[in-house]
Amino acid sequence: MKNTLKTASLLSLALLLGACGTSNTPTTTTAQHDGSLLKTAQVVTDRWFVELEGDPTSLSSQSVGSQQATFRAQAAKQGIKYQEISAYQTLFNGFAVQASSSEMGRISQMPGVLGIYPIHRVDAPETTVDLNATVTPEMFYAKGMTGADIAQNELGLTGKGVKVGVIDSGIDVDHPAFKGRIVAGYDFVGDDYGKESKYVPVPDENPDDCGGHGTHVAGIIGGYDPGNSRDGRPFAGVAPEVSFGAYRIFGCGGSSYDDVILAAMERSVKDGMQVVNMSLGSAFDNWKETPLAKAADRMVKKGVVMVASAGNSGASGTYSMGGPTMGDQVISVASVDNAKIDLEGFTLSNGTKVGYYTATGAPAPTLGTNLPITKKPGSTTTTTNDGCTASGGFAAGSLTGKAVLIRRGTCSFYEKAKNAQDAGASAVILYNNAAGYISPTVAGTPAITIPVVSISDTDGAKIDGLIAAGVSMTFDGSKVSVNNPTANASSSFSSIGMSAELEFKPDLGAPGGNIYSTYPLSADPAGYEVLSGTSMASPHVAGAAALLLQAYPNTAAKDMRTMLMNTASLRWYLNGSTLVTGLPDYAQRQGAGMINIVNAYTNSVRATPAKLSLGESATFATRSKVVVLKNTGARREVYTAYNYPALTIGGTTLAPTPVQKYATMTINGQSADTASGVQIIVPPFSEVELNVVVTPPAGAADKAQYGGYVDLESTTSPNIVVPYGGFVGDYQSIQVLGNLIVGGKSQDFPALGDDVADTYYTEGQTVANPIDYTFKQVALDSTKPNELTLDAPYVIAQISHQARKLTMELLDGNGAVVDTLLKQEYLGRNCTNDVSKTSSTCDAYNTYSWDGKLSNGSAAANGTYQLRVKVLKALGDESVASDTETYTSQQFTVARPQ
């Protein structure tokens, strides 16, 4: 049955998918470039992590302290100028410092320094908010998707006795859903942190939430409010009896920084949290070696189950995850859309309830309003231009005091509503001309002043059939539960893996699209709101972990992910508005699939490893892995094992496309691609090895990502899945130093920046006049004489893919190396390659500046120089020339006034 369903799905998809491609041809020019075009997008930081050698979880505090004291003494001896912001000893051996990039270049080469990393600004996670509350999905539905409802009601699991830390914007301490259950916490920042771009922390002991995000997350994990009930059921999160630790790292609005987040992570460990949820991260920073990812891994080593959101950068392509979620042992959570939604409703005179969306640009209906329903004479459920001006509109006064039913089509929603309003209508009911619901906009001039609501095609047809005999409707505030059209599909915003090192990520999926949960009373007197994002998915898994820890308190933190991944259920690919049942979505977007708490609780066979990272196909034509099945139960377990491939990701990094090319597999020497599969028997209290050999998909394009599942099906026990993912071709063939689209045209980058001349010189550009830098502070705007900029060179680099290491060198006029100015490890990629698409959360390039000093602190002599940037590619080998990309700037002159 499995393979039959899969084949049918693939055939249907073949009829639906198309192919597309784009090409940008860079140009080389001698013309001067307008430097102002890049000013707003420039990415500069003066805050850095400095990591020293030695894992603090393996060293004594005395050893860590000694290393840090030695660093301070050496930096002082060398005259390096920096300001220490924080020191860390629990999860990270090193400091957060403030310094210029040139000073950081000197620090990067000090003995004992393992690496330097920019401290990222972390914006409060993006979520979609339904401020009008016209759509109110229930935690009841989301809990049904994960099995949390059965775990609570039938298994008696509530998370009691388990401590869950929430590193976020705090928790509303006055909200009834958390009364008496916040047992630890700290406010690291204060209310005004980030206000007007001022980041001055004012810490205190009260982690009260005024931003909202943390309260919403905590409600999903384990809120419980008998004062908010529906159908006799009180609001309850996944684990409604957990105790909370609240660690506030955001102010009432704005952003936070990695160094604050790291401090909160260390405190949560000291406070004894057993599970910690982090619904935040830095997109594209997807290395397990970055400070927050490494610290998160060390939390697991210390016995904490770490759960983190995968990120909301799915629209920015592949390799778009980042932050703590990239830790090797961290549970990385993708988002799945909720199963059902509750709509506001009106009731027909025959008692039928109809759900609706309120149109944007029109007032909400007044509760209690009762109106007869009419329509334009002659209109039917096939009329294509119902209510449009071209079809005659409505007769003057014909709709006075009535609600008019209008079918979608031909003209705008505004035109239909305006014509009805002019004819005296008291309300408009728009119905769809295709399956499902619409969310219309009727904004225009003059404004629409009557309620406009939209309903489904089927409800519209029902009402159309009742009008002849007479029917009325009442806006009575009723709720109507309907199936979500995108239910159980991966959310389109959910970030896509893999990691920069081709490690399989994300790990799991959970409900994150349209989730109803707690909200600060200060922001919403009702205390509840609907939000969407991977931020909402992660706490479902944190709550699930709390339930399983209550059931199995001796479970090692590192084993929790395996329990949940083994028993997850796959999500199908959403092609536009069509859910292709039986065809798994990209494994690199959904991980192992949706968590199933009940199956995780009852499963007695564990498969390790829980996922297979297969690397690049250029290295090995096939990949061989061993999966061990360990049966801890007294019953003999029998499985049929299949290869269940998911869609391959083709296209480009920024524009991925689904491709129907699939890997093949053998298990224990037998084909796993047949309908009969491979029979596997696991005796009681024993282990069985599966020798899994995966062959990458034939015909898949170079640089594609493929994936799928080792699918073990049982008729008596929960099914087990082990996801796999790999890369087609030579991974080092991905270009790192890319071209940049400026003013709509692709230009050769990297480039040499010159602020005083208000220009930049693209790679290979011929320069007619000498380039010189004085290293003097200069006012670029004569109207702002106090705003000074250093007249110094800098490299502008578009980072198209994650890089293992970047080195900037100073060359003399003959091309010989004078000095190494900067070494930076584990770089993330830029969000886009188009300057016009940048935003506060999406950058197009990085800059690397030189202040005229050498690594020993002395000033470089006047003369002719060049800057050279070398980038070692992800998983690259420095001894292989093709694994390093090199850019060399034009020659310039250091011309300090004598």
Instruction: Give catalytic residues, as residue numbers.
Output: 168, 213, 535
Q: What is the 3-state secondary structure (H, E, C) of 219-260?
A: HHHHCEEEEEEECCEEEECCCCCCEEEEEECCCCCCEEEHHH
Please give the Cα distance from 353 to 348 (Å, whole number): 6
Of the candidates 60, 56, 59, 107, the residue with the CA atom closest to the CA atom of residue 84: 107
78 three-state secondary structure: coil
Please give the Cα distance from 388 to 412 (Å, whole number): 8
Please give the Cα distance from 33 to 760 (Å, whole number): 6
18-26 contacts, C-beta under 8 A, 24 or more apart: 19/657, 20/657, 21/651, 22/652, 22/655, 24/739, 24/741, 24/746, 25/746, 26/739, 26/746, 26/747, 26/748
Cβ count within 10 A of residue 485:
16
- Provide the β-strand partners of residue 344: 356, 479
Of the candidates 645, 651, 647, the residue with the CA atom closest to the CA atom of residue 704: 651
CA separation, residue 741 to residues 44, 647, 745, 746, 747 (Å): 20, 30, 5, 4, 6
Q: How far is CA 273 from the centre of its chain?
A: 24
User: Tokens 């002659």 appear where?
Assistant: 378
Residue 773: enclosing H or E segment and its boundaries?
A: strand 772-773
Q: Tell the burial category of 385 from Cβ atoms under 10 Å away from its Cβ (0-12, 13-18, 19+).
A: middle
Residue 838, token pair as written in the block:
């940048």
CA separation, residue 774 to residues 32, 439, 756 (Å): 20, 58, 10
CA angle at residue 434 from 433 to 438, to 5 degrees?
Answer: 85
- Provide the β-strand partners of residue 790: 777
Q: Which amino acid is at 542?
A: A
Contact (Cβ atoms closer than 8 angstroms) between residue 211 and residue 187: no
Q: Which amino acid is at 527?
A: G
User: Tokens 């922390």 appear where?
Assistant: 201
- Provide the β-strand partners of residue 665: 694
**606-615 burial string, b = 16+ CB within 10 Å, else e?**
bbeebbbbbb
Of the candidates 686, 554, 610, 531, the residue with the CA atom closest to the CA atom of residue 218: 531
Please give the Cα distance from 481 to 293 (Å, whole number): 40
Residue 659, token pair as written in the block:
């491709």
Q: Which amino acid is at 29?
A: T
CA dihedral 73, 78, 83, 86 (to 10 degrees): -40
CB within 8 A of 232, min separation 6: which ones? Answer: none
Question: Considering Cα of 708, then 655, then 661, then 337, what sign does the dihedral take?
Answer: positive
**428-439 burial string, b = 16+ CB within 10 Å, else e?**
bbbbbbeeebbe
Cβ count within 10 A of residue 69:
10
Q: Which amino acid is at 40?
A: T
Cis peptide, bond prior to residue 201, ω within 30 of zero: no
Q: Tell the burial category of 796 from Cβ atoms under 10 Å away from its Cβ (0-12, 13-18, 19+).
A: buried
